[in-house]
Amino acid sequence: MLTIKILGPGCPNCQKVEAYTRQALDVLQPEGGYELVKVTDPVDISAYILRTPGLVINGQVVVEGRVPSADEVKGWIADALAAG
């Protein structure tokens, strides 16, 4: 099961990261399921990153401080699924 955390206060950039993540999950449809968590509390965010938006997949920070492309997000999720 994938655990994906979107880190940010809910700004437009954070919303883009969430939209790209949801699109990738819709396409890849992880067999084991997934948990998508929005982390908005500054203290919780700072445990992972210093600049938002951020994306964490299975405990690993994959991006911080910028909006990745939809293809990047899909690639990271596919890699996490392949790693099992």
- The string of pLDDT tens digits covering residues 1-34 is 999 999 999 999 999 999 999 999 999 999 989 9
82 is catalytic: no
Q: Of the residues 3, 10, 11, 47, which is catalytic?
A: 11
- What's the pTM? 0.95
Q: Which two tokens stand for residue 26?
A: 């819709």
11 is catalytic: yes
Q: Does the domain spanning 2-83 belong to CATH 3.40.30.10?
A: yes
Q: Of the residues 4, 6, 7, 14, which is catalytic?
A: 14
What residues contact residue 31 under an 8 Å CB cut-off, 6+ apart? none
* Residues 53-73 pLDDT 10s: 999 999 999 999 999 999 999
List helix spans (H) across the chain.
12-28, 42-46, 70-83
Where do the structural domains in the chain lie, given as residue ranges? Answer: 2-83
d(CA 54, CA 6): 6
